[in-house]
Amino acid sequence: MQRSIFLAKLIGPLLFFIGVSLLVNHEGFRLMADQLLRNFALIYISGTITLVAGLAIVNLHNLWVRDWRVAITILGWLTVIGGIVRIVVPQHAATLGAAELTQPALLITVGIVAGLVGAWLSYIGYLRQTPRAKRGGTQ
């Protein structure tokens, strides 16, 4: 459970602020993403970083359980898949990304979902007390 809490504390704020940035600085994000998608080398490098992060999560936390912790496992596997796609077929990632940038409603939806999932994981990681912590024990 301690590893799950640690990952919630790490992933939660990241997703929350990514979501906020998509909503608050929508045009800035679109310009930045447009520049990135024109450079296959940057897509490839971001893929290697993404794959390493995803593999770290999956190797530390491959829990298929019926509680909140499965969300971290799913995010880890989605990160692995995203990294592989960027490395193996960067041109496909560029085409897909460019298509997504033309749909503002999709970016807003992604921002809302990322922000909510990030807020939820942050709450679990930083604010929610486990039964053991409520009794005065440590996590």
Percent of the chain at pLDDT exceeding 70: 92
Q: What is the pLDDT of residues 4-32, one digit of tens each?
A: 999 999 999 999 999 999 999 988 998 99
- Per the domain annotation, does 123 fall within a domain? yes
Q: Are 19 and 116 in contact (CB under 8 A)?
A: yes
Torsion sign, CA atoms 64, 60, 85, 74: positive
Domain count, the chain: 1
- Per the domain annotation, does 84 fall within a domain? yes
- Per the domain annotation, does 134 fall within a domain? no
- Per the domain annotation, does 135 fall within a domain? no
What is the pTM for the complete model shown? Answer: 0.86
Q: What is the pLDDT of residues 85-138, one digit of tens each?
A: 999 999 999 999 999 888 989 989 999 999 999 999 999 999 987 655 554 444
Domain that holds residue 83: 2-127
